[in-house]
Structure 1
Amino acid sequence: MIVAALLFITLGILIKYAKMYWLIAGYNTMSKEEQEKYDIEGIATVFRNVMFGMAFVIIVGYFMANYTKSPSVQDYAFWTSIAIGMPYLFIKSNSEKFKL
């Protein structure tokens, strides 16, 4: 599960700091005119924050599982991060806030 956390951290860094916006589904298929209607920097910040948050929950779950000697804690942390993080990411990044 730590690999998933590292993947989320990497994706957050690539999208926000390396400006790999093509990793955001649908953005690279828009015309230039359509892309200019969105605050991509704001959307990238949301992606970074959510990816880092999900990674944080997974890492905390990993250490809690080791501390409590209960491997299921790690599974709960992973699935909770996905169940909360992904819908939040989709809703927030598609909100009117980022349309110019």
Structure 2
Amino acid sequence: MSTRVKRKIKISDKLKDTFFSSHGFPLSLTFITISILFVLFRMKGVELDYKVNEVNSKIEKSLMENKELKAKKAKLLSTKNLRSMATNHNLKQPTQKQIIVVP
């Protein structure tokens, strides 16, 4: 029987041969590309989440402002307020002939 001589191969040389071989290089390149794309998509997702939260907060502020304006409008159009404004501006109650009903 013949005896084989075992050669000591460095790990770095083995990795170089694997990564730069015709089978290993496309795999490593694909893995690196997928990793970079994953990070980019994750960053874009976080950025979009910040924008969505900002838009939601603006919507909430607008809704609160809308409620306040509706309350102010209701207060200004109340009969008590309209009567007090009419007396301040020397207005009289309309007669029956002055009232026109629009169908």
What range is the shorter-chain TM-score in?
A: 0.3 to 0.5
Greater helix share, 1 or 2? 1
Provide TM-score, normalisation by structure 2. Answer: 0.31
